[in-house]
Structure 1
Amino acid sequence: MTKEKEDFQKLCDSSIELFNAGDYEGVANLYKKETQFLAPNFSRITTREGVSNFWKNTFNAGYRFQKVETIEVRVGGELAYWLFNWVMTNPDKNGKTITQTGKNILVWENVGSEWLICLDSWNSPA
Protein backbone atom coordinates (compact mmCIF):
# COMPACT_ATOMS: atom_id res chain seq x y z
CA MET A 1 0.00 0.00 0.00
CA THR A 2 1.36 3.43 -0.93
CA LYS A 3 1.96 6.12 1.71
CA GLU A 4 -0.81 8.23 0.15
CA LYS A 5 -3.25 5.31 0.40
CA GLU A 6 -2.16 4.52 3.98
CA ASP A 7 -2.67 8.16 5.01
CA PHE A 8 -6.09 8.20 3.37
CA GLN A 9 -7.10 4.96 5.14
CA LYS A 10 -6.06 6.55 8.46
CA LEU A 11 -8.34 9.50 7.68
CA CYS A 12 -11.20 7.09 6.97
CA ASP A 13 -10.54 5.21 10.21
CA SER A 14 -10.48 8.47 12.19
CA SER A 15 -13.90 9.37 10.76
CA ILE A 16 -15.32 6.23 12.38
CA GLU A 17 -13.75 7.25 15.70
CA LEU A 18 -15.50 10.65 15.48
CA PHE A 19 -18.76 8.89 14.61
CA ASN A 20 -18.57 6.52 17.56
CA ALA A 21 -17.67 9.41 19.88
CA GLY A 22 -20.93 11.09 18.83
CA ASP A 23 -18.99 14.11 17.55
CA TYR A 24 -21.49 15.34 14.96
CA GLU A 25 -19.63 18.62 14.41
CA GLY A 26 -16.34 16.78 13.90
CA VAL A 27 -17.97 14.40 11.44
CA ALA A 28 -19.76 17.24 9.61
CA ASN A 29 -16.45 19.08 9.22
CA LEU A 30 -15.19 16.16 7.13
CA TYR A 31 -17.71 17.18 4.44
CA LYS A 32 -17.37 19.90 1.84
CA LYS A 33 -19.55 22.94 2.47
CA GLU A 34 -21.53 21.94 -0.63
CA THR A 35 -21.85 18.18 -0.65
CA GLN A 36 -24.09 15.32 -1.76
CA PHE A 37 -25.42 13.30 1.17
CA LEU A 38 -27.69 10.45 0.13
CA ALA A 39 -29.20 8.68 3.12
CA PRO A 40 -31.88 6.05 2.52
CA ASN A 41 -35.44 7.26 3.10
CA PHE A 42 -34.33 10.91 3.47
CA SER A 43 -34.25 13.83 1.07
CA ARG A 44 -30.90 14.69 -0.47
CA ILE A 45 -28.79 16.92 1.80
CA THR A 46 -26.47 19.34 0.03
CA THR A 47 -24.89 21.45 2.78
CA ARG A 48 -22.48 20.81 5.65
CA GLU A 49 -25.04 22.37 8.01
CA GLY A 50 -27.66 19.86 6.86
CA VAL A 51 -25.18 17.00 7.32
CA SER A 52 -24.40 18.28 10.83
CA ASN A 53 -28.11 18.27 11.74
CA PHE A 54 -28.55 14.77 10.33
CA TRP A 55 -25.62 13.38 12.33
CA LYS A 56 -26.65 15.23 15.49
CA ASN A 57 -30.07 13.52 15.38
CA THR A 58 -28.49 10.17 14.50
CA PHE A 59 -25.93 10.28 17.30
CA ASN A 60 -28.49 11.50 19.84
CA ALA A 61 -30.60 8.46 18.92
CA GLY A 62 -27.66 6.24 19.92
CA TYR A 63 -26.41 4.94 16.58
CA ARG A 64 -22.84 3.58 16.72
CA PHE A 65 -20.68 1.40 14.47
CA GLN A 66 -19.78 -2.00 15.86
CA LYS A 67 -17.77 -3.14 12.87
CA VAL A 68 -16.45 -1.53 9.70
CA GLU A 69 -14.89 -3.64 6.96
CA THR A 70 -13.02 -1.83 4.20
CA ILE A 71 -13.74 -3.37 0.80
CA GLU A 72 -11.67 -0.98 -1.30
CA VAL A 73 -9.80 2.30 -1.04
CA ARG A 74 -8.76 4.23 -4.14
CA VAL A 75 -6.76 7.43 -4.22
CA GLY A 76 -6.00 9.22 -7.48
CA GLY A 77 -5.55 12.86 -8.30
CA GLU A 78 -8.18 15.08 -6.74
CA LEU A 79 -10.63 12.27 -5.84
CA ALA A 80 -10.53 9.22 -3.60
CA TYR A 81 -13.15 6.79 -2.38
CA TRP A 82 -13.70 4.42 0.48
CA LEU A 83 -16.05 1.49 -0.05
CA PHE A 84 -16.98 -0.40 3.10
CA ASN A 85 -19.52 -2.62 4.85
CA TRP A 86 -20.70 -1.85 8.36
CA VAL A 87 -22.55 -3.24 11.35
CA MET A 88 -24.31 -0.65 13.48
CA THR A 89 -26.40 -0.75 16.63
CA ASN A 90 -28.95 1.57 18.14
CA PRO A 91 -31.52 1.33 20.91
CA ASP A 92 -35.17 0.95 19.96
CA LYS A 93 -38.00 2.73 21.79
CA ASN A 94 -38.22 -0.18 24.27
CA GLY A 95 -34.52 0.01 25.16
CA LYS A 96 -33.55 -3.11 23.26
CA THR A 97 -30.57 -3.06 20.89
CA ILE A 98 -31.21 -3.19 17.15
CA THR A 99 -28.40 -4.36 14.88
CA GLN A 100 -28.28 -3.25 11.26
CA THR A 101 -25.87 -3.98 8.42
CA GLY A 102 -25.14 -1.91 5.37
CA LYS A 103 -22.76 -0.83 2.67
CA ASN A 104 -21.36 2.64 2.11
CA ILE A 105 -19.29 4.64 -0.32
CA LEU A 106 -17.64 7.90 0.62
CA VAL A 107 -16.12 9.93 -2.20
CA TRP A 108 -13.58 12.48 -1.03
CA GLU A 109 -12.21 15.49 -2.90
CA ASN A 110 -8.82 17.04 -2.27
CA VAL A 111 -9.60 20.69 -1.51
CA GLY A 112 -6.35 22.60 -1.07
CA SER A 113 -4.39 20.14 1.03
CA GLU A 114 -7.42 18.67 2.81
CA TRP A 115 -9.54 15.66 1.91
CA LEU A 116 -13.27 16.42 2.30
CA ILE A 117 -16.28 14.22 1.59
CA CYS A 118 -18.15 15.33 -1.53
CA LEU A 119 -20.49 12.31 -1.78
CA ASP A 120 -21.83 9.99 0.90
CA SER A 121 -24.25 7.24 -0.07
CA TRP A 122 -25.28 4.08 1.73
CA ASN A 123 -27.99 1.53 2.02
CA SER A 124 -28.99 -1.40 4.12
CA PRO A 125 -28.80 -4.36 4.35
CA ALA A 126 -25.22 -5.12 3.32
Structure 2
Amino acid sequence: MEAASGRARQGRRARLVKRSSRDMEYSSGQLPVNFYCEASSMVLTVILRNCRCVCPGLGWAILCIHVETRRLPLCLYRTLSLEMIMRNIASAIAIVISLSAPALAQKAEIEANNAKWIEMFNKGDFSGIASLYSADATALPPGSAMVQGRPAIEVMWKSMAEQVTDPKLTTVDVKPLGSSAAREIGTFVLKTKGSTPQDVTGKYVVVWEKVGDDWKLATDIWNDGK
Protein backbone atom coordinates (compact mmCIF):
# COMPACT_ATOMS: atom_id res chain seq x y z
CA MET A 1 0.00 0.00 0.00
CA GLU A 2 2.76 2.40 1.01
CA ALA A 3 4.78 1.44 -2.06
CA ALA A 4 1.76 2.05 -4.30
CA SER A 5 1.20 5.43 -2.68
CA GLY A 6 4.86 6.30 -3.24
CA ARG A 7 4.59 5.32 -6.89
CA ALA A 8 1.47 7.43 -7.25
CA ARG A 9 3.22 10.43 -5.72
CA GLN A 10 6.17 9.86 -8.02
CA GLY A 11 3.82 9.66 -11.02
CA ARG A 12 2.11 12.90 -10.04
CA ARG A 13 5.48 14.57 -9.60
CA ALA A 14 6.67 13.27 -12.97
CA ARG A 15 3.54 14.54 -14.69
CA LEU A 16 3.89 17.95 -13.07
CA VAL A 17 7.52 18.21 -14.03
CA LYS A 18 6.76 17.13 -17.57
CA ARG A 19 4.01 19.69 -17.90
CA SER A 20 6.16 22.52 -16.54
CA SER A 21 8.93 21.55 -18.94
CA ARG A 22 6.53 21.43 -21.87
CA ASP A 23 5.05 24.81 -20.99
CA MET A 24 8.44 26.43 -20.44
CA GLU A 25 9.01 29.14 -23.04
CA TYR A 26 12.46 30.06 -24.26
CA SER A 27 12.93 33.60 -25.48
CA SER A 28 14.66 34.47 -28.73
CA GLY A 29 18.36 33.74 -28.58
CA GLN A 30 18.03 30.98 -25.97
CA LEU A 31 18.87 27.34 -26.66
CA PRO A 32 17.97 24.47 -24.27
CA VAL A 33 20.27 21.44 -24.43
CA ASN A 34 19.07 18.30 -22.60
CA PHE A 35 21.24 15.54 -21.11
CA TYR A 36 19.75 12.33 -19.70
CA CYS A 37 21.47 10.25 -17.00
CA GLU A 38 20.12 6.67 -17.11
CA ALA A 39 21.49 5.66 -13.71
CA SER A 40 19.66 8.38 -11.79
CA SER A 41 16.83 9.15 -14.24
CA MET A 42 18.02 12.74 -14.13
CA VAL A 43 17.39 15.18 -16.94
CA LEU A 44 19.78 18.09 -16.87
CA THR A 45 18.90 21.01 -19.12
CA VAL A 46 21.62 23.54 -19.83
CA ILE A 47 20.02 26.68 -21.21
CA LEU A 48 22.33 28.72 -23.40
CA ARG A 49 21.78 32.21 -24.63
CA ASN A 50 23.35 34.41 -27.25
CA CYS A 51 25.71 36.51 -25.13
CA ARG A 52 25.02 40.24 -25.58
CA CYS A 53 26.24 41.72 -22.30
CA VAL A 54 29.97 41.45 -21.74
CA CYS A 55 31.02 39.77 -24.95
CA PRO A 56 28.45 40.55 -27.69
CA GLY A 57 28.42 38.41 -30.78
CA LEU A 58 30.87 35.85 -29.44
CA GLY A 59 28.49 32.87 -29.24
CA TRP A 60 26.61 31.03 -26.55
CA ALA A 61 26.98 31.49 -22.80
CA ILE A 62 25.39 29.39 -20.06
CA LEU A 63 22.25 31.16 -18.86
CA CYS A 64 21.09 28.65 -16.25
CA ILE A 65 21.00 24.94 -15.41
CA HIS A 66 17.70 23.16 -14.74
CA VAL A 67 17.62 19.67 -13.21
CA GLU A 68 14.62 17.33 -13.26
CA THR A 69 14.28 13.78 -11.92
CA ARG A 70 12.01 11.79 -14.21
CA ARG A 71 12.11 8.87 -16.61
CA LEU A 72 11.79 9.68 -20.30
CA PRO A 73 12.48 7.65 -23.47
CA LEU A 74 16.23 7.38 -23.96
CA CYS A 75 15.85 8.27 -27.64
CA LEU A 76 14.93 11.82 -26.59
CA TYR A 77 18.14 12.47 -24.69
CA ARG A 78 21.82 11.86 -24.92
CA THR A 79 22.67 9.13 -22.42
CA LEU A 80 25.55 10.42 -20.39
CA SER A 81 26.93 9.71 -16.96
CA LEU A 82 26.79 12.50 -14.40
CA GLU A 83 30.55 12.77 -14.58
CA MET A 84 30.43 13.24 -18.35
CA ILE A 85 27.68 15.84 -18.00
CA MET A 86 29.76 17.91 -15.62
CA ARG A 87 32.78 17.50 -17.89
CA ASN A 88 30.77 18.82 -20.85
CA ILE A 89 29.52 21.76 -18.80
CA ALA A 90 33.09 22.57 -17.76
CA SER A 91 34.18 22.40 -21.40
CA ALA A 92 31.37 24.74 -22.42
CA ILE A 93 32.36 27.24 -19.73
CA ALA A 94 36.01 27.02 -20.85
CA ILE A 95 35.01 27.73 -24.45
CA VAL A 96 32.94 30.76 -23.43
CA ILE A 97 35.81 32.12 -21.36
CA SER A 98 38.34 31.55 -24.14
CA LEU A 99 36.10 33.42 -26.58
CA SER A 100 35.26 36.31 -24.25
CA ALA A 101 38.78 36.95 -22.92
CA PRO A 102 40.19 38.41 -26.16
CA ALA A 103 37.13 40.66 -26.56
CA LEU A 104 37.47 41.98 -23.01
CA ALA A 105 41.17 42.63 -23.59
CA GLN A 106 40.42 44.46 -26.85
CA LYS A 107 37.77 46.61 -25.17
CA ALA A 108 40.11 47.53 -22.31
CA GLU A 109 42.89 48.57 -24.72
CA ILE A 110 40.49 50.55 -26.90
CA GLU A 111 39.07 52.40 -23.89
CA ALA A 112 42.63 53.19 -22.77
CA ASN A 113 43.33 54.66 -26.22
CA ASN A 114 40.15 56.72 -26.01
CA ALA A 115 41.33 58.11 -22.67
CA LYS A 116 44.65 59.09 -24.32
CA TRP A 117 42.74 60.74 -27.17
CA ILE A 118 40.72 62.87 -24.73
CA GLU A 119 43.81 63.83 -22.73
CA MET A 120 45.70 64.88 -25.87
CA PHE A 121 42.73 66.84 -27.20
CA ASN A 122 42.39 68.79 -23.97
CA LYS A 123 46.15 69.53 -24.01
CA GLY A 124 46.10 70.60 -27.65
CA ASP A 125 48.47 67.79 -28.64
CA PHE A 126 47.07 67.14 -32.11
CA SER A 127 50.19 65.42 -33.43
CA GLY A 128 49.73 63.01 -30.53
CA ILE A 129 46.12 62.45 -31.59
CA ALA A 130 47.25 61.77 -35.15
CA SER A 131 49.70 59.17 -33.84
CA LEU A 132 46.75 57.19 -32.48
CA TYR A 133 45.59 56.65 -36.08
CA SER A 134 47.11 54.21 -38.56
CA ALA A 135 49.31 55.73 -41.26
CA ASP A 136 46.60 55.34 -43.92
CA ALA A 137 43.62 56.03 -41.65
CA THR A 138 40.44 57.65 -42.95
CA ALA A 139 38.23 60.01 -40.94
CA LEU A 140 34.71 60.84 -42.11
CA PRO A 141 33.52 63.97 -40.28
CA PRO A 142 29.82 64.89 -40.64
CA GLY A 143 28.99 67.14 -43.57
CA SER A 144 32.59 67.23 -44.80
CA ALA A 145 34.90 65.44 -47.19
CA MET A 146 36.87 62.38 -46.15
CA VAL A 147 40.17 63.08 -44.45
CA GLN A 148 43.00 60.62 -45.13
CA GLY A 149 46.38 60.14 -43.52
CA ARG A 150 47.88 61.30 -40.23
CA PRO A 151 48.96 64.83 -41.33
CA ALA A 152 45.47 65.65 -42.62
CA ILE A 153 43.82 64.16 -39.54
CA GLU A 154 46.05 66.28 -37.30
CA VAL A 155 44.96 69.44 -39.16
CA MET A 156 41.30 68.37 -38.96
CA TRP A 157 41.32 67.97 -35.18
CA LYS A 158 43.26 71.18 -34.67
CA SER A 159 40.58 73.01 -36.64
CA MET A 160 37.75 71.33 -34.72
CA ALA A 161 39.36 72.24 -31.39
CA GLU A 162 38.77 75.89 -32.26
CA GLN A 163 35.03 75.22 -32.17
CA VAL A 164 34.49 72.58 -29.47
CA THR A 165 35.99 71.52 -26.14
CA ASP A 166 35.70 69.03 -23.27
CA PRO A 167 35.00 65.84 -25.27
CA LYS A 168 33.82 62.70 -23.51
CA LEU A 169 33.71 59.26 -25.15
CA THR A 170 31.74 56.23 -24.01
CA THR A 171 32.32 52.82 -25.55
CA VAL A 172 29.01 51.03 -26.07
CA ASP A 173 30.14 47.91 -27.90
CA VAL A 174 33.31 46.29 -29.21
CA LYS A 175 33.08 43.48 -31.75
CA PRO A 176 36.27 41.56 -32.59
CA LEU A 177 37.00 41.27 -36.30
CA GLY A 178 39.60 38.57 -35.94
CA SER A 179 42.68 38.91 -33.75
CA SER A 180 44.02 42.13 -35.30
CA ALA A 181 40.90 44.23 -35.90
CA ALA A 182 37.82 45.35 -34.00
CA ARG A 183 34.73 47.49 -34.52
CA GLU A 184 33.78 49.96 -31.79
CA ILE A 185 30.43 51.69 -31.40
CA GLY A 186 30.21 54.54 -28.93
CA THR A 187 28.70 57.87 -27.99
CA PHE A 188 30.26 61.27 -27.37
CA VAL A 189 29.44 64.50 -25.58
CA LEU A 190 31.28 67.81 -26.09
CA LYS A 191 30.74 71.52 -25.59
CA THR A 192 30.73 74.26 -28.19
CA LYS A 193 32.91 77.31 -27.64
CA GLY A 194 31.56 80.84 -27.59
CA SER A 195 29.53 83.14 -25.38
CA THR A 196 26.72 80.58 -25.03
CA PRO A 197 28.30 77.10 -24.90
CA GLN A 198 26.01 74.20 -25.70
CA ASP A 199 26.31 70.48 -25.17
CA VAL A 200 26.48 68.41 -28.34
CA THR A 201 25.81 64.67 -28.23
CA GLY A 202 26.44 62.13 -30.95
CA LYS A 203 27.56 58.63 -31.84
CA TYR A 204 30.53 57.14 -33.64
CA VAL A 205 31.86 53.99 -35.24
CA VAL A 206 35.57 53.20 -35.31
CA VAL A 207 37.37 50.33 -36.99
CA TRP A 208 40.55 49.59 -35.04
CA GLU A 209 43.58 47.75 -36.39
CA LYS A 210 46.38 46.14 -34.41
CA VAL A 211 49.68 47.58 -35.64
CA GLY A 212 52.51 45.83 -33.86
CA ASP A 213 51.55 45.90 -30.18
CA ASP A 214 49.26 48.94 -30.46
CA TRP A 215 45.67 49.47 -31.49
CA LYS A 216 45.24 52.24 -34.08
CA LEU A 217 42.14 53.95 -35.44
CA ALA A 218 41.85 52.90 -39.09
CA THR A 219 38.41 54.30 -39.92
CA ASP A 220 36.65 56.97 -37.84
CA ILE A 221 33.12 58.18 -38.55
CA TRP A 222 30.75 60.17 -36.34
CA ASN A 223 27.70 62.42 -36.42
CA ASP A 224 25.39 64.35 -34.12
CA GLY A 225 22.23 63.03 -32.50
CA LYS A 226 21.29 59.97 -30.50
Instruction: Say if 2:111 and 2:171, in contact at 8 Å, map to a contact too.
Output: no
Question: Normalized against structure 1, the TM-score is what?
Answer: 0.84
Instruction: Say if 1:18 and 1:27, in contact at 8 Å, map to a contact too.
Output: yes
- Secondary structure of 2:124's aligned partner: coil
Q: Give distance in 1, aligned partners of 2:193 and 2:134.
A: 30
Q: Which residue of 2 aligns with 1:74?
A: 175
- Secondary structure of 2:110's aligned partner: helix
- Pick one of 47, 51, 59 that aligns with 2:161: 59
Kindly state the Cα deviation for residue 120 of structure 1 after the two structures are TM-superposed: 0.1
Q: Gapped runs of 5+ residues in structure 1?
A: none
Q: Give distance in 2, aligned partners of 1:117 and 1:7.
A: 12
Number of aligned residue pairs: 123
Q: Which residue of 2 aligns with 1:109?
A: 209
Q: Give distance in 1, aligned partners of 2:118 and 2:186.
A: 12
Kindly state the Cα deviation for residue 102 of structure 1 after the two structures are TM-superposed: 0.3
Sequence identity percentage? 27
Kindly state the Cα deviation for residue 72 of structure 1 after the two structures are TM-superposed: 0.8
Q: Which residue of 2 aligns with 1:119?
A: 219
Residue 24 (str. 1) matches residue 130 (str. 2) = no
Q: Gapped runs of 5+ residues in structure 2?
A: 1-53, 55-100
Kindly state the Cα deviation for residue 9 of structure 1 after the two structures are TM-superposed: 2.4
- Secondary structure of 1:63's aligned partner: strand
- Secondary structure of 2:198's aligned partner: strand
CA RMSD of aligned residues (A): 1.9
Higher relative contact order (CA 8 A, sep 6+): 1
Instruction: Say if 1:84 and 1:103, in contact at 8 Å, map to a contact too.
Output: yes
Return the letter of the residue paired with 1:70. T
**1 or 2, which has the higher strand percentage?**
1
Residue 45 (str. 1) matches residue 147 (str. 2) = yes
